[in-house]
Amino acid sequence: MGGKRRWPEDQDGGWGHVSTDNSTFQVLLANATYTGEWEDCSEYASISVAAESTDVGTEFVDFSSNKIDLLDQRQQSATNGSDLGTHFITPDHQFFRVRVSNGPNDALLRVQTLLHRSIRMPISRLDGEIGPESNVINVRSIVVGEEGNGDFENVTVVKTMNDDGTYHSLQVVSGARPSELFGRTSVRVVIDGVTTSSLQYTVSPGKTLFVTDVLLTANNSAGSTTGQLKLEDGVIAAQPVVLPVLIAEPQGSETRVTPITHSFDEPLQFATGIWLNESMGTLTVSGVILGYEE
């Protein structure tokens, strides 16, 4: 016999063979489950399942070697909306079936399953359902960025270590904050007209506070006396000084306002707390201290 052998998907324009045993368009009752029929997929390289429901639902693809024992159960998606997504699965047993568990309301369920002779890539829409159960393609890649002079450079990563583990993250983009890296908790300490030495912030147990920005003003009303402000690492007075600042002395009966603004490439570290020590002068301190805990 001559001629080219035609696989089932060739008869459907080359995009796949429709699995009628695992495709449906039906009303699914509340809390019910649609279960397809066991189907032989041993001659196919990949399976794609597209599903939509008018209620919340969870989609599974089951695998078996004998149509009796459930050897692999893969959750493909779970959603609060209507789009259960399109998923591409590589079979690892001879038989498969599709299941969709419905939510608390009756729903109109649509499932279409295709069998492919070639491996199909897991491509998702930008607004599609993507979660930990979604299929991925594992690749090694190099991310490069263009310098202002037109040169291209590899993008470096930042190493962070905290209670969540060790992570290597891409550099924070311009306009973002260092506190946005994974495992960090943003901290904002507002100081509103403080006139006496006092505790301003207590660091969470087992954490370290890293201060990235200090935006303060200190009003010294002590005539002809230089003021001094200290940020100390502690929850009580007389602790290690992290940042000492001299405050200009006023002339005569006037007051003198001194701005204290700085951003730190290497953040200031506080292990226990921020104690605001107004050690000299008659000061009124206002502003904000920004940073993160990890």
Per-residue pLDDT of the chain (294 residues; tens, 9 = 90+): 444 444 444 444 456 789 999 999 999 999 999 999 999 999 898 898 888 888 888 888 999 999 988 888 888 766 655 677 778 888 889 999 999 999 888 989 999 999 988 877 666 656 555 666 566 666 677 777 777 777 777 777 777 776 777 777 766 554 456 666 667 888 999 999 999 999 999 999 999 999 999 999 888 887 778 888 899 999 998 899 998 988 877 776 566 777 888 888 788 999 999 999 998 888 899 999 999 998
Domain with CATH 2.60.120.380 in the chain: 8-116
Hey, what CATH topology would domain 185-293 get? Jelly Rolls (2.60.120)
Looking up tokens 């930042």 gives 158
Listing DSSP states for 87-154 in one string gives EEE---SSEEEEEEEE-SS-EEEEEEEEEESSPPP----TTS---TTS---------EEE-TTS-EEE
Question: How far is the CA of 205 from the CAs of 180, 202, 271, 276, 291, in angstroms?
Answer: 20, 9, 9, 20, 16
**CATH architecture label of 8-116:** Sandwich (2.60)
